[in-house]
Amino acid sequence: MTRYSRQMILPEIGADGQARLAQSHVLVVGAGGLGVPVLQYLAGAGVGHITLVDGDHVEIGNLHRQPLYRMDQLGQPKAQAAAAAIGALNPDVAITPHGAWLDPASAPDWVAGADLVLDCADTFAASLTLSDICRDTGTPLITASALAQSGYVAGCCGGAPSLRAIFPDLPERGATCATAGVMGPVVGAVGAIQAQMALSVLLGLTPGPLGQLISLDAARWRMGGFRFDRAPEPDAPLPFIARSQTRAEDVLIDLRAEAPPFSPAARHILPENITTLAPPAGRRVVLACATGLRAHNAGQALQTCWSGQIALLALTDE
């Protein structure tokens, strides 16, 4: 009996499907609450190569929903700690950890080497950046989010509409696990569905999960979902850029009231006042905030006032 015999006995997998998994390369962005079950189940299933990207460290306040980590790993980079744990779980899996934050400058190279991408990040900027790249390259993207007692998983790109097509309008404000809280099993359940979708794509199972969203409402004991195969892509979506991709001639706007400007060349404008900005002739406007949400919404507000070059910057590395 092999370690994979219980899944290989399934007629839709068999020896050929297991070989297909062993030859697959997936990119996992985020080693937190979603990334932990994703990594465990993909490695357990025998996915041959996993590239893991996460610039965070193991913190005690995360352990209730990230049981892959131990108390003696507090302060260690998550990518390296997760890689060590996954290596012990299944030494047949090659896992390449990168202890860095994903940004629009680095993301294309990481996506280029993957058969499939799993978005386990926790910022709008990272999710939309991955969606934009996967949409343009035709790479399947399994994206997910969880908060409090609810969450969703969606199979995007790779021939299906992108994340922007599902959510063309983002909320004005976004809560986080730190501000709104989250239950560990909820994140685990959402991450497990994310892993199941990923395996289905890699194995070519039908019906496939691309173009499908599944939702979980644990507070009311309900699951739901819908198909979004024909969701239209938004016109002229605002691109995210990395800090290294700003230019000397850019007009830099910091939308955060809670922090000093991220650059000596940047100036503060509150999001509600962004439409007072006069159009800078021939120059690109770069809107910056912590997660990308305020920048995205302010950029959309500017688009209603004037046409010009606008780019968004998420200051996740501060």
Q: Which residues are catalytic?
A: 177
> Is the dihedral angle over the CA atoms 163, 189, 15, 13 positive or is it negative?
negative
> Is the dihedral angle over the CA atoms 184, 187, 190, 195 positive or is it negative?
negative
Q: Which of 94, 93, 134 is nearest to 112 (CA)?
A: 134
- DSSP H or E run through 245: none
**E-state strands within 202-294:** 212-217, 222-227, 251-254, 267-268, 285-289
Residue 285 in 3-state DSSP?
strand
**E-state strands within the chain:** 25-29, 49-53, 94-98, 116-119, 141-147, 150-156, 212-217, 222-227, 251-254, 267-268, 285-289, 310-314
Measured distance CA(106)–CA(12) in Å, rounded: 36
- Which pair of tokens denotes residue 22? 């062993």
Q: Do β-strands 94-98 and 49-53 pair in parallel, antiparallel, or remain unpaired? A: parallel
How far is C-alpha 74 from the chain's CA centre? 24
Q: Reply yes or no: is the peptide bond before residue 140 cis, omega within 30 of 0.
A: no
- Which pair of tokens denotes residue 29? 């962005």
Measured distance CA(63)–CA(84) in Å, rounded: 17
Measured distance CA(183)–CA(149) in Å, rounded: 6
Tell me which DSSP letter residue 34 carries.
T
